[in-house]
Structure 1
């Protein structure tokens, strides 16, 4: 594995790979790597000749400066985790490499970025689109791999790729969970002991709520999930929405869509955790 820190170095390496007709798989991350990220690298290695991983904490997608400051960073540890994986190139640029000048682009995603995360974190997804499009431009991958835990982000990236007509296949990979069911996240390391103990209730409740489909109506399922999680004094639901998996528009009845997903954000103390559950999937 080779560490690359500048766009110039990366351009040279990518050009060399293209001359050899190598297919490139890309896994963009913000570091603080865990098994979820490594599963994306593994998937990329199975589908592409060469895997590029990026580590870049993007300031443009943090609404809260404190959240940006708290975000865990440990490049040396991350490199150790990647050492025995399919990752061949690790791109870890400074902010000025990605943003030599401020990015003033504003994307129009219709309603995709207005609901759920977008409603509670205005501007977040525009920042995601800015950085992912810049990284795509630099890495020039054939396929890019994203975890399904960030369900709304996946929809945004797909729409951004479609609008810019980049010719990159966006590959969704299943959520990787801890042994107790908690969705793996870099933020899990920031949880206090008591909040970490309570956090698996999120996934447990979502899984239990599948038993109600289609016997209870959507309003009842939502009420159950919120009530059950809020019943733990260490957890507080910010939102729980049941939506069409393509448009992210709220659905009122199970018959409204063949693809229905429940998306949730929960505060465990000061740490905000997200998760989702697929209730109906036409591809299943």
Structure 2
């Protein structure tokens, strides 16, 4: 199997690990890993690395993500989504006091750089253990707030029914932002409680639904979404070097700085991705060597 990325349109009801296991069977390789997770209830873009491309996963520029979701006002849950047990509800007269302008103001207050407390059942590590594992063991979990960036939090539609107000939203946010925590905090600010009932990730970094494959399609057409060279070109700034520099780099040697901010991909004269590098003063240090340089 050639190295590269597979962008999967994850179905509801599967964990990210379930998807990895399925793709391993489809592609006939154990060397498959995922970049970022999606909750079982969520659907949409999940980026997988295959073979040598698993080396990219920790470096991919996946710092901006986009979602479509539905927030239900009127009840708070233990998990901040529909999978949890109901903690509290409010009656219809209380919901009737929440007008459209109050909802818009609540959303505006959760847009921009905010301090967010992740869900108690998130994958955040507390003293070396995942928060959700501590909760399942009956422990009380207090997770400190941390800064996240919500670039867009747009209200697309509002539906009112007995016992609930459903809000369809579009969210673009930084990595590490929990959309279900936005639902929780919006409900808390409005005095109604809130939780997430549906979530679909439409984009992760440069990878959107347009290149994503369902597992059924991947089963019938087992192929990469992007080979290694195309994946590096899509996800990182590009630096081209000559054959001598590529050969030196393939042996882990440093090069003169490229003058590029952050992590970038280095390509040889044949257009192959040789490494990921980062500038450190006057030199560039290889983070990951992806493939040997062409022979003389």
TM range (shorter): under 0.3
Higher helix proportion: 1
Task: Calculate the TM-score normalised by the size of structure 1.
Answer: 0.22
Larger RCO, structures 1/2 (Cα 8 Å, 6+ apart):
2
Q: Which entry has the higher C-alpha Rg, 1 or 2? A: 2
Task: Calculate the TM-score normalised by the size of structure 2.
Answer: 0.21
